[in-house]
Structure 1
């Protein structure tokens, strides 16, 4: 999908440092100080327009949420949603998840969310998939012992690949759903893509993968 360019996006993001963290490297190991509490930290990689994270922040005020999104033109919408909300437990980073070790200390994160990420279906692009073992190594270092990854996607191929990747890495799987919206899961917060695809009658796949304690 082609993203619409917004010429002043970078400037607008820089004008809201309370929502868009300008230099996340300086926050490494200090995120609880940034939020002003000792609540657990949940991170969404590829947060897009922020609908999921804002919904989660309202549903779970006792959790600190951080969304990572590299596309400035997309993050503008997430920022505006945060500005319109009274929630203080959500921040965003305009960064690439490949550099995530620069922004967080080891064991600083409690949970990762990966929602409707690019499936990169061609074999030569496997290493770009956010559930590839190379990325799992990064997540494991930053998560607390026994930390989890929650995955949602509309792409069956990516879902099957991810289940194999998680299992091959030695992670345990739970709450695996091949049709999320036909399940009895409570408290599900939908992303923009999830709303779009579910309205078309497409299946939403979901699972939780836990690293070894």
Structure 2
């Protein structure tokens, strides 16, 4: 079911400008000032209704989290969940992934989460997938040296495509899980709202890859 548009959503975001940043293209290099510390910054691109990023902020107070969502109404729903707690290590952002190099300075981010991104199954839409090479280029700019990119999806086609995309790009495979909810060692997995709903219908796939570089500057999986 498509989420009904909330005409007041933008007003909600702007009313809480201390927690939520709308199109913050002047913030590159300033995020540690926002949080008031030098803790690592983890971002979730396409946070949906925000359960995942909120729980992460609760569990890991020594990490700064930013939940990013391009849809205003959805971003407002996520923000509303975090307003009451007002966790000092959590911020929200209404922005599109394509412009994130204008929002973060090179190497300002330590880890990126991609949770249940739109699989864009048609071949002609491959460039819209968040694991397409042009997006991997963006993440390379954002991430610090040996930064992590963590993908979760229930879509096997997107997962297989992403693994091939990561390999072709030269990323280092830190971990691959073919059935997250029925495998040992993932007991601390934090679920998204989508994950709770659809996990009973089939396996959840997860990949953790690292941007490593050779001395000449090219990416290397070794």
Q: TM-score normalized by structure 2?
A: 0.93
1:1-213 alignment, distance < 5 Å: 2-22=2-22, 24-184=24-184, 185-198=186-199, 200-213=200-213
Shift of 1:22: 3.6
What is the RMSD of the two structures over their aligned residues, measured on CA atoms?
1.1
Q: Distance in 2 between matches of 1:129 and 1:68?
A: 16
How many residue pairs match? The answer is: 212
Q: Distance in 1 between matches of 2:18 and 2:52?
A: 19
Shift of 1:86: 4.2
Please say if residues 131 and 162 of structure 2, whose CA atoms lie closer than 8 Å, have aligned partners that are also in contact.
yes
Please, which runs of 5 or more residues in structure 1 have no aligned partner? none
Q: Distance in 2 between matches of 1:66 and 1:46?
A: 11
Three-state SS of the structure 2 residue aligned to 1:174 is strand
Q: TM-score normalized by structure 1?
A: 0.96
Q: Distance in 2 between matches of 1:16 and 1:40?
A: 23
Moved more, 129-138 or 81-90: 81-90
Please, which runs of 5 or more residues in structure 2 have no aligned partner? 214-222
Three-state SS of the structure 2 residue aligned to 1:152 is strand
Please say if residues 27 and 34 of structure 1, whose CA atoms lie closer than 8 Å, have aligned partners that are also in contact.
no
